[in-house]
Amino acid sequence: MKTKTVEILDFQIKETTISIVGISPLIVHKFSEKAKKMIEGKQQGAAKNKKHEIKVPENDFNGARHISPQGWDGFPAAGFKAAMIRGAKMIGMVMKDTQTSFFVRADCEETQLVHIHGDVRMRTDMVRVGMGSADVRYRPEYIDWYAELNIEFNAGVVSLDQIYQLVKAAGYGCGIGEMRPERTKYGYGRFKLANEL
C-alpha cells in the first residue's frame, strides 16, 4: 500500500498592538439582563405586565455598560473587528477576504471585551420606537477615551501596513457603538491612530 505525503503549510501568524484614541464620544448600549428577560418572556408567551414600569435612570445606565469581572469598562472585540472589515472597502480591499485574515483579541476572555480607558457619564436621549412613539434612553458615554487593540493576523494574507490601514479606516468612517457614522447621520464612536496625534 502506497502512502501519500501531505505537506501542510504553516500560516504566518503575527501579532501587533495598535493604540487608538477617540475623536468623538463613544456611546454604548449593552442589552441589560432585564431587557433579555423581557424579550425571552415575550417569545415564550409570558403574560404582559400591564402596569407601566417606572424607569430608574441609574439602573438603565449601569445595565447598558459592558463591565468586565475585574470591574473595568469595555467594548466587544467583535465590534472593533466588524468596523475594520467594513473599513476594508474604503481602502480597496475585499471585505469578505479580510474577515478570516485577522482577529481582535479581547482583554477579557470571559466577556470578550476590549478595555475602554476613560471616564464614563450618563447620557440622556429621546429616541423613536415602534409606531412613532418616543422613549427616553439612559446610556453610558465616554467623552475622552482610548484603547489598545491587540490584533493577531495572517501575514500571508494581509500585511502589517494593511492592518494599520484597516484600523484607520474603521475609526474614520465606521466607528463603534451607538449613533456611529456607519449606521446613522451622526459621528459618534470615531477614533484615530494614537501616533497620528
pLDDT in tens, the chain (197 residues): 677 888 777 889 999 999 999 999 999 999 756 655 555 656 666 655 556 678 899 999 999 999 999 999 999 999 999 999 999 999 999 999 999 999 999 999 999 999 999 999 999 998 887 777 888 999 999 999 999 999 999 999 999 999 999 999 999 999 999 999 999 999 999 999 999 86
Query: Which of 141, 77, 81 lies closest to 111 in space, CA to CA?
Result: 77
Query: Which residue segments constitute the domains of the chain, with CATH numbers given?
Result: 13-49+65-121+140-196 (3.30.70)
- CA dihedral for 172, 81, 79, 193, sign (positive or negative): negative
Written in H, E and C, the secondary structure of 58-69 is: HHHHHHCCCECC
pLDDT of residue 51: 60
Q: What is the pLDDT of residue 197?
A: 61
Its pTM stands at 0.86
Q: Check residue 6 and give its pLDDT.
A: 81
**pLDDT computed for residue 38 by the predictor:** 54
What per-residue confidence (pLDDT) applies to 43? Answer: 64
